[in-house]
């Protein structure tokens, strides 16, 4: 379907809905019905007996979309099979604030990097090029952009576009037909190609998927958003970007919670609420809410103030892709969320580890990595204006090095010693014992023993009950420390040593 035809179709649908709303308002509502279990034939038959029509049954959450007579809504809410009934509310793109003048962070004359970075100040400002120069570009990371669609023919997006779905027109052609290229603009910030043309995205080799849940006017419903989230989960997306806003909804929260539990990282705009509370779904615990900053790292006048804000990213005067191979400058937390989505893709591509030490590597580790490496802004620590601070690609894609040593009691002392050198960094050392009685640690600096750092860790002694894992820190900043580990115990006994910096 062409841009023109889709736009005409959207306009026709809009005016038809106005024409018939006067009769439909009193006769019938589009609702989302949540059940206590996955709705099957009994639940669908319940809706039909109430005079309703089932339009869509979800698999991600126990709910369905239906059209119901007004009087049936109250009756169904009281039924024991039903958990809740919500109207299928309107959801919109987050309207960009009107800004008369943009203060650029640098001049073209003073900036010597590629023109793509010159024209994408936010991408450069958060340190994306540092990751790109190391070959970290988001390759093979799958990002679902739930928005107005993507102009997948754009010369800066076509190589990274992988597919998607149109939940407005129920087809597989999620072309962006919006008046301001909203979805295409968001996609460009996330993943515009590094091809010497136009701008570059935060993750220039990411895989982009367009889930068109909003029409050309920027309007959709809870039903189309939830269907898109379900598609993202079922098609193994790594990240969902939601640059949109709606009201607090039990069903939307359930969908976000289910997607997050399934391993998808969800990033959303905090909303352009001008100092009021953050918008939904960004305000949910399962979603990262992103606020906007200017080139001086000050929050935009349009941004929310809310404890739900988790991260900050550039949102003022952001140049990105627009329809018909065009480019436009837009502002708002929608743009900020896209910067964080691109950063998350780089963190995944760089090979994030078990950051939270829960034994698994998943979306929670990426989230914590983004939090702990952010540049603190505003009040120390997390605050209601900037969250944890400005997202930092360079730090977020730099992971601690891990050295693993197996310390074994051999037949001779010389063969039993393990010697390693720590240089100019802060280290965390963990001894996990298997069968040794004790480990002696000697520390040498400038060919002299550091008597203050000598330690004996006892694991087995008569009548003793000792922990079999010991962790401690060593600060080798500005120096070099030689560590000598000496094992005590029967021949063949061992312990594992992990050194992290």
Q: Which residues are catalytic?
A: 147, 182, 334
Mapped onto helix, strand or coil, the DSSP state of residue 368 is helix
C-alpha 431/C-alpha 439 separation (Å) is: 9
What are the distances in angstroms from CA 208 to CA 37, 100, 168, 477? 33, 32, 19, 42
- Two tokens, residue 443: 């520390």
* Helix orientation angle between 333-350 and 182-191, rounded to the nearest 10 degrees: 30
Largest CA distance in the chain: 93
C-alpha 240/C-alpha 142 separation (Å) is: 9
DSSP state at residue 171: B
Q: Measured in Å, how far apart are the chain's first and last C-alpha atoms?
A: 54
Mapped onto helix, strand or coil, the DSSP state of residue 309 is strand
Is 183:147 a contact under the CB 8 Å cutoff?
A: yes
- Two tokens, residue 206: 């990411």
Q: CB-based contacts of 30: which residues, under 8 Å, 6+ apart?
A: 55, 65, 66, 67, 87, 88, 221, 223
C-alpha 249/C-alpha 85 separation (Å) is: 11
Q: CB-based contacts of 377: which residues, under 8 Å, 6+ apart?
A: 293, 297, 299, 312, 385, 386, 389, 390
Is 292:316 a contact under the CB 8 Å cutoff?
A: yes
Residues 229, 230, 235: CA angle, nearest 5 degrees? 100
- Two tokens, residue 490: 């029967």
Is 272:302 a contact under the CB 8 Å cutoff?
A: yes
* Helix orientation angle between 250-261 and 222-234, rounded to the nearest 10 degrees: 10
């Amino acid at each position: 379907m062409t841009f023109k035809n889709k736009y005409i179709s959207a306009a026709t649908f809009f005016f038809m809905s106005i024409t018939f709303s006067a009769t439909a308002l009193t006769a019938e509502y589009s609702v989302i019905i949540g059940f206590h279990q996955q709705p099957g034939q009994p639940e669908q038959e319940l809706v039909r007996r109430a005079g309703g029509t089932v339009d869509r049954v979800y698999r991600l959450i126990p709910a369905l979309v239906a059209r119901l007579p007004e009087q049936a809504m109250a009756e169904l809410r009281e039924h024991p099979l039903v958990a809740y009934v919500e109207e299928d509310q309107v959801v919109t793109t987050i309207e960009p604030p009107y800004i008369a003048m943009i203060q650029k962070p640098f001049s073209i004359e003073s900036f010597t990097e590629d023109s793509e970075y010159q024209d994408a100040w936010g991408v450069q400002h958060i340190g994306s090029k540092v990751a790109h120069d190391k070959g970290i570009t988001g390759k093979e990371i799958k990002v679902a952009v739930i928005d107005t669609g993507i102009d997948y023919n754009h010369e800066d997006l076509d190589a990274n576009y992988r597919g998607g779905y149109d939940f407005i027109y129920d087809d597989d052609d999620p072309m962006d037909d919006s008046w301001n290229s909203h979805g295409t603009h968001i996609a460009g910030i996330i993943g515009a190609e590094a091809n010497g043309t136009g701008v570059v995205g935060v993750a220039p080799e990411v895989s982009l998927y367009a889930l068109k849940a909003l029409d050309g006017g920027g309007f959709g419903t809870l039903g189309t958003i939830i269907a898109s989230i379900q598609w993202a989960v079922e098609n193994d997306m790594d990240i969902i970007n939601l640059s949109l806003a709606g009201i607090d909804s039990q069903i939307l929260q359930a969908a976000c919670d289910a997607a997050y539990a399934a391993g998808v990282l969800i990033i959303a705009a905090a909303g352009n609420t001008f100092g009021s509370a953050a918008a939904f779904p960004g305000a949910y615990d399962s979603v990262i809410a992103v606020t906007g900053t200017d080139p001086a790292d000050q929050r935009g006048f349009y941004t929310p103030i809310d404890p739900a804000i988790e991260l900050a990213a550039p949102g003022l005067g952001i140049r990105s892709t627009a329809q018909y191979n065009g480019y436009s400058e837009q502002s708002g937390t929608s743009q900020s969320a896209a910067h964080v989505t691109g950063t998350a893709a780089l963190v995944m591509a760089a090979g994030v580890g078990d950051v939270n030490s829960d034994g698994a590597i998943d979306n929670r580790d990426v989230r914590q990595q983004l939090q702990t490496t952010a540049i603190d802004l505003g009040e120390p620590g997390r605050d209601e204006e900037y969250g944890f601070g400005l997202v930092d690609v360079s730090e977020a894609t730099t992971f601690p090095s891990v050295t693993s040593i197996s310390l074994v009691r051999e037949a001779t002392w010389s063969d039993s010693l393990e010697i390693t050198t720590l240089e100019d960094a802060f280290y965390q050392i963990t001894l996990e014992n298997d069968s040794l009685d004790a480990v002696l640690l000697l520390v040498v600096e400038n060919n002299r023993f550091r008597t203050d750092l000598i330690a004996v860790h006892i694991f087995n002694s008569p009548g003793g009950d000792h922990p079999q894992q010991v962790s401690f820190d060593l600060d080798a900043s500005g120096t070099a420390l030689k560590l000598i580990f000496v094992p005590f115990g029967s021949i063949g006994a061992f312990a594992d040593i992990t050194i992290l910096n």
